[in-house]
Amino acid sequence: MFQSSFFGRGLTARLLASSMLASAVAVPAAYAGTISGEVVDASGTRTLRGAEVSLVELSQSAEVGQDGSYRFVNVPAGTYTL
């Protein structure tokens, strides 16, 4: 005959809650990405070092590096204005 105990049910509930929490935490990372690019002058021949690029919807900004590149990491999936 099977008998359940209060401890057994509590442990099962805690394990289930822990696995659900771990799943909830892992999901957003799967939908994050990177936005990167290069800033050049109108002729496309010279990089614009030190320029500031803004990711409007997230209120984030990045300074363009010596090579003209910028990068935003861990950006949630969506449509953005630079």
- φ and ψ of 2, to 5 deg: -95, 130
Q: What are 38's strand-pairing partners?
A: 69
**What's residue 63's pLDDT?**
94
pLDDT tens per residue across all 82 residues of the chain: 444 444 445 444 454 455 554 444 444 556 899 999 999 999 989 999 999 999 999 999 999 999 999 999 999 999 999 9
Q: What is the DSSP letter of 40?
A: B
Sign of the C-alpha dihedral, residues 19, 21, 25, 31? positive
Distances (CA, A) of 51 to 19, 40, 44, 63: 45, 10, 15, 6
**What's residue 61's pLDDT?**
95
> What is the C-alpha separation between 51 and 40, in angstroms, rounded?
10
